[in-house]
Amino acid sequence: MSVFSPPEPADIILEVRDLRKEFIARRGRARVRAVDGVSFALRRGEILGLVGESGSGKTTIGKLIMRLVEPSSGSIEVAGFEPGPRGGGADIAYRRRVQMIFQDPYASMNPHFRIKDVLEEPLLIHHIGKTREERLAMVARVMEKVKMTPVADFLDRHPHMLSGGQRQRIATARALILRPSVIVADEPVSMIDLSTRAEILHLLKTIQEEMELSFIYITHDISTARYFADRIAVMYLGRIVEIGGRDEVIDHPFHPYTRALIAAVCEPEAGRAGTLRELQVRGEIPSASDIPSGCRFRTRCMYAAEECSALPEPGLEDIGGGHSHACRRWKEIGATRA
């Protein structure tokens, strides 16, 4: 079985089943279905890229997995067990297993804290390390892992004294210090300079291999997902519309939304300035409080037909090789794997 096929049960570190999250908007009238039935499994040592535009629900999934937000329904299991109620033993154990790297390297750290405080916090919360020295030793070790050396130089600094890339390294260190199994990285490089982005991604990849970590890599930039992830799941309006190995999904997209997304990506190549880019969507993203019936992409899909609104929403169809998508009409459209 190819490395990109769905994982074997023994391999699975994180499993999400029919996860849903509904928000009641302030006015009380609108029910926003941010995540509307998402299921996937993450294998040990695997990087899953969650790609989508704003409103796709990818960030909400990250928060659900991190238990910053409670699901409306559905389940999340890490290493086979579900986190219990907040504050309970199971919840604490869960948090040691799953950690997060946030998008904004400036905002995700308390500006009054020193770096050593930032990194010591998780240890203090989980009562790891009995003495200050013990904890500082662990802090130094994890800083070496993210190449923030010499350690002594950085320990007493405040976050605003570091560059964006350096802060994101510290954020990574903070996520690693508890030795989790799963890391949710929410747009970890989108607010960092281009020339440093690859450095951070490279670091994350190295750490991932060394520590056999599993990653959920949330991004709107499908190009970095190609570079970083093993598998890619494309999300639209709260659901996964296509999932598969990264090369598969990008080189042979089946779902019209994936194809539209790929067609819209700009590349650094010459000769584009005079030509309009052919876009394969119509209109705007519908509001998440008013999701179209049937296939939710049909209002923008170039290939939408009668059946797309008449029939219920298609689920993910497995077309082999670990590649699934949610388009009923793929054969008519002519999407192939060739």
Partner 1 sequence: MGDMTRAGTEPVLSVRGLKLHYFTSKGAVRAVDGISFDLYPGETLGLVGESGCGKTSAGSALLGMASPPGRIVEGSILVDGTEVVGMSERSLRRDLRWSKVSMVFQGAMNCLTPVYTIRELMAETYREHAPEKKRDAVAKGGEGIDNLLAESLRLVGLPAATLGRYPHELSGGMKQRVAIAMALFLEPKVVVMDEPTTALDVIVQAQILNLVKGLKRDLGLSCVFITHDLATEAEIADRILVMYAGRMAELGSSEDIFGNDPRRGSQRPRRGSSHPYTKMLLASTPRLHRRVSELAFIPGSPPDLIDPPEGCRFAPRCPFAKAKCHRDEPPISELGPGHLAACWKAMEDPEYERL
Partner 2 sequence: MSAGEFWNEFSKSKTGLVGLALMLVFVLLGAFGGLLVPFPDAARHWRDIDYWQDEPLAAPPVWTNAFAARKGAPSSILTRFRTEKETRDDGVAIETFVFAYSFTYDRPPRDLVVRVPGSGRVPMAIWLERPDGLSAELYRDQVDLSGGGENRVSVTRDCARAAIEFVRSRDEALADTMNADLIKPVEILFAKPGSGIPGAPAPLKGIYEIRIRALVVSPDFSLGRPTVIVSGQVSGIMGTDASKRDVFTGIVLGIRWALMIGILSSAVTVVAGVLLGIVAAYFGGALDWLLTRLYELVYFLPVLPFLIVISAIFKPSIWVLIAIICAFFWTGSFKTVYGMTLQIKEESFVEASRALGSGPWRIVLRHIAPMLLPYSFASMALSVPAIIVYEASVSLIGLGDATIVSWGQILESALTQGAVINGLWWWVLPPGLMIALMGMSFAFLGTALDKILHPKLRTR
Residues of this chain that interact with partner 1 (CB under 8 A) are 53-54, 163, 165, 193-199, 201-202, 220-224, 226-227, 247, 250, 260-262, 264-277, 279, 281, 284-285
User: What is the closest distance, in whole angstroms, from the C-beta atom of residue 268 to partner 1 in the complex?
Assistant: 4
**Binding of partner 2 by 205 (CB under 8 A):** no
Provide the mask over 27-66, with x wherever binding to partner 2 is found by CB under 8 A and - wherever it is not: ---------------------------------------x
**Binding of partner 2 by 183 (CB under 8 A):** no
Residue from 17, 44, 96, 205 binding partner 2 (CB under 8 A): 96
User: What is the closest distance, in whole angstroms, from the C-beta atom of residue 128 to partner 2 in the complex?
Assistant: 11
Read off the tokens for 141.
């070790």
Q: DSSP per residue over 250-311, as a string?
A: HHS--SHHHHHHHHH---S-SS-TTSPPPP-B-S-PPPTTSPPSSSTTTTTBTT--HHHHHS
Residue from 28, 80, 87, 283 binding partner 2 (CB under 8 A): 87
Read off the tokens for 50.
């969650």
Residues 6+ apart with CB under 8 A from 75: 15, 16, 17, 18, 19, 82
Give the interface size with partner 2 as a residue count (CB under 8 A): 28
Measured from the CB atom, the residue of 103 and 324 that comes closer to partner 2 is: 103
Task: Pick the stretch among 106-114, 189-197, 286-294, 310-318 that binds partner 2 (CB under 8 A).
Answer: 106-114
**Strands (DSSP E) along the chain, which ranges?**
12-24, 31-43, 47-52, 73-78, 98-101, 182-186, 214-219, 231-236, 239-245, 317-318, 324-325
Contact 225, 49 (CB under 8 A): yes
From the list 6, 25, 16, 22, the residue with the least C-alpha distance to 238 is: 22
**Binding of partner 2 by 68 (CB under 8 A):** yes
Interface with partner 2 by CB under 8 A: which residues?
66-68, 87, 91-92, 95-96, 99-100, 102-104, 106-112, 121-122, 125-126, 160, 171, 174, 178
